Amino acid sequence: VQVAGDMLPNSTERAVTISGTPDAIIQCVRQICVVMLESPPKGATIPYRPKPASTPVIFAGGQAYTIQGQYAIPHPDQLTKLHQLAMQQTPFPPLGQTNPAFP
């Protein structure tokens, strides 16, 4: 069990990392819950609310759009070009074909 030393951003909560076998993790979570019930927090709890890593993007008709409120705004050309390049790539050969590098 690892408990972060710092609070999560804009919160009074801390990150807890639990590792081990599935049964050990279950027992650990139960024990943590027992401790939390026996020792309620002192003062107000400010929950952690993560912010989106980036603005949502929609691709439609070869154009990229970002979501701003209730509207889809056309996105700069760089993102549209990256999407078009990605669509041109074929990561796997079609079914039934073999890759000469892997007999």
User: Which pLDDT value is given to residue 28?
Assistant: 94
- Is residue 23 a part of any domain in this protein? yes
- Is residue 99 a part of any domain in this protein? no
- Is residue 22 a part of any domain in this protein? yes
In the predicted structure, residue 95 carries a pLDDT above the cut 60: no
This prediction has a pTM of: 0.46
How many domains would you assign to the chain?
2
In the predicted structure, residue 55 carries a pLDDT above the cut 80: no
Q: Each residue of 35-51: pLDDT tens digit?
A: 989 998 889 999 998 87
User: Which pLDDT value is given to residue 71?
Assistant: 77
Could you give phi then psi for residue 29, rounded to 5 degrees?
-60, -40
In the predicted structure, residue 99 carries a pLDDT above the cut 60: no
User: Which pLDDT value is given to residue 65?
Assistant: 76
Question: Which range of residues forms the domain containing residue 22?
Answer: 2-38
Q: 3-state secondary structure string, the chain?
A: CEECCCCCCCCCCCCEECCCCHHHHHHHHHHHHHHHHHCCCCCCCCCCCCCCCCCCEEEECCEEEEEECCEEEECCHHHHHHHHHHHHCCCCCCCCCCCCCCC
